[in-house]
Structure formats: structure tokens, C-alpha cells
Amino acid sequence: MNDTSRPAAAPAAIRVFIALAPPDDAKDELARALAPAYAAHPGMRWNRIEDWHITLAFLGELPVTVVPRLRAPLAELAAERGPLELSLRGGGQFDSRVLWSGIAGDVPGLHRLADDVRGLVKEAGIAYEGRPLRPHLTLARARRGDLAGVPEAAGVLDGFEGRAWPTARLHLVGSDDARGPAPVRYRDIESWPFTGTGPGAGTRTGTGA
């Protein structure tokens, strides 16, 4: 008889990214604007609102033993910086497959922050060859064989102008160990407040994308 009382083995690898997260009221504002798209396209693979993030660096699957290397440098970076002022604006699509909302506000500062985050990843000895940053918030993906829903849903966000908000924290995010058809769920591994006295668009020396 199998012993089912043993706890499941901890995963050896975890999917990791570093991100910013809009505050709840800004996400609720966007969700209200999306209501017609939710109703018209319930079959799309809608991301949970809890998982809405602005990704600065997607690291893919890492050994769990490597992830702690990122904690101290990311904490230091957040402590050096003040918040960025951002907002959610409009919507668009990638290849009729991915629905997103755009990012407005201090976009140059956002790029500099992403460059510094990516530099810290490399300094921590983690290989990183990510794509250039295209600031956005991923909202949904098309189901296989249905490429009409994403462009139509993007049209719902034409003219959407969300309120401005300050970035509160820098998030180190990891996936659960779900495999198969179940959607991947994300959780904060750790996050750090932006508490620096300098501007959010400040720069560091010796780092880069």
C-alpha cells in the first residue's frame, strides 16, 4: 500500500521574474473597463487580477538554490530608489495572441530601473539574455484556434486612461510547481519598498541590461 502521508517533494526549480505591481484600486479601475471584454470573450485565458504585474526581467526556471542570491541586491536597489509614477493606458495585442494594457507616466525611469534590475541579475551570476523591455501588463491569451478574441478585446480599451499611482515595491515573484493543463499561479517570494530619497529614475553605476 502506498504511503500517501508523506509531503510532496519540494520542486528543484521555480519560474522567476522581477516586477512591479499596480495598486489594487488601479487594477480594479482597469478590470471595470475590461468588463465588456470579459462578457464577450469568456473563453480567453484571462490572467487573474492578482497576477497582474509589470515585468522588469523574466528569468525563466531557476534552481531554487539560486534564487536567494537575488534577495540582497534587489533589497539594496529598492532602498536606493524613490517610487516611479506610472499609470495604465489603452490596450493592444501581440500577434493576435496576447492582450495587454499599456504603461504611461515615467516610462524612461521604468526603463532605467529595468536595466539596473537586469544588471543585478547578471552580477548575481545568473545568465540573462532577455528581450528589450516593452512596458505592458499582460491581461489574457487567446485559446488555440481562436485569434479573433484578442483584437476585439483590445478595442475595448481604446481611450482608457487610468489614474496615476506611485510604484510601492519591487517584487521577486515565483510560480507554483503546477504542470499540465492547470494555469500557473504566481506568488511573491519577497518584495521590498522603494524607500530611497533619490528620484525613481536614478541610475546606478556598473550595471546595465
The per-residue pLDDT for 199 is 54
% of the chain at pLDDT higher than 70: 85
Residue with cell string 530619497: 197
Catalogue the active-site residues: 53, 136
DSSP state of 154: H
- The residues that bridge with 25 in the sheet, in sequence order, are none
Measured in whole angstroms, how far is the alpha carbon of residue 123 from the centre of its chain? 21
Q: pLDDT band at residue 5, thresholds of 50, 70 and 90?
A: low
Q: pLDDT band at residue 145, thresholds of 50, 70 and 90?
A: confident
The per-residue pLDDT for 38 is 96
The per-residue pLDDT for 204 is 42
Q: Taking Cα atoms as reference points, which of 102, 104, 96 lies closest to residue 153?
A: 96
The per-residue pLDDT for 208 is 33
Report DSSP letters for 20-87, one per residue.
E---HHHHHHHHHHTHHHHHH-TTSEEPPGGG--EEEEEEEEEETTTGGGGHHHHHHHHHHBPPPEEE
Please check the confidence at residue 207 and state whether its pLDDT lies above 70. no
Please check the confidence at residue 44 and state whether its pLDDT lies above 70. yes
Measured in whole angstroms, how far is the alpha carbon of residue 56 from the centre of its chain? 7
Of the given ranges (6-20, 55-69, 141-155, 193-207), which has the lowest mean pLDDT? Answer: 193-207
Report the predicted TM-score, pTM, of the whole model to 2 decimal places. 0.85
Q: Taking Cα atoms as reference points, which of 166, 80, 85, 64 lies closest to residue 120?
A: 80
Q: What is the mean pLDDT of residues 162-179?
A: 87
More confident residue, 149 or 9: 149
Which strands form 186-193's sheet, in the order they lie side by side? 54-63, 13-20, 169-175, 186-193
Please check the confidence at residue 91 and state whether its pLDDT lies above 60. yes
The per-residue pLDDT for 120 is 96
